[in-house]
Chain A
């Protein structure tokens, strides 16, 4: 049950920790976020050189065969350091979808570039009225001989302004809420008649509203079986949740340690904050919340790695429980830092914002609680 890392996994974690310590401290991250682009291609290349982009893929796909556990290791460190580069979007979401449902030709065309860190991807599944359901798709894809013609608007697509390629969900048949009839397409971000309206997200990333007006996509760019995109997206979401939980755990552990440190040094009424029992007990509850989140995240990733049944139900359970725990820790970390916690200078607020963002991505804790309860 407890994950004892293999030598390879230890190596991955150790080298990533060193890289982030040397080149991705809070100051460096602040500078990256403040650039026009909002991310760093240089750092992305460094990640790729370490093998991160190839780590989770199967060896038969040309990857390192690390699976969900490799993703977990990477995401936890990214969570600690608030890394903004689109590892989740490119490797976990797009790479995972292509590996899972893509054709051999699509594997050959896309995976080597992703693994080499040479192409950036984003997943455009949400729409203005979709909330968190993959079947709520109003965007249409109409087959016209050798092309599909896409029309519609995709919402809050994280990383789209950085992306070379998009995976877009669109309806090839059925009504806007039907489960069947949703298909996935690989679309060039530079396609004619595809418009991006970019914006900054609360956690320092970039996202876009995407409008598709008669965008022509070659039929060969249909990803997976026509009409069965919802199932592919659901499996993709399980992997995304496992990764996001690990990222949240990384952020939570940093928040707990900076808060604890602050409580030991900051003095009020002539004594350290940490001497007040009410604050001690709060921090104990933060400690417990983190321990439980670590356990559940490991359990989920191990279950996905071994292909346990009920993995999807467990993913929703973990998204909910870890989400509530992360929100509790993030809110209390600000509270215990007092006025300082409100300052943009301090990293605390930035972890808070990343956690708030994680809690929205792919469904909030309440949404997944009900999904867990009903499945």
Chain B
């Protein structure tokens, strides 16, 4: 339901960092496996094993997964940018300027985002990259 990483190529060690949390909460399921088994319960496609595919249900599943990942990426970005302000690595005024700057820049190309939603020709995201 959710990709394992947000930052491509980030060390698997990053994921291990959360296993102690799982022990605290007395839940024995590994969070990675947990979300996979939840996906089977929550999404429609698996309901369908052996039967003809239903494109409407597939579209619902796909749209939910896209929105969920997009929402979590926005939440993560907002959290980290707010932390940079707290750590005084950037001033609120500079950040606001940068946001306005990028909003303007990307609004000129928003048509490309829309078209890519139709064609899925390029992979997301289109205007930034967390790769090396």
Whether chains A and B associate is: no
**B residues adjacent to A (C-beta < 8 A):** none
Residues of A bordering B, CB below 8 Å: none
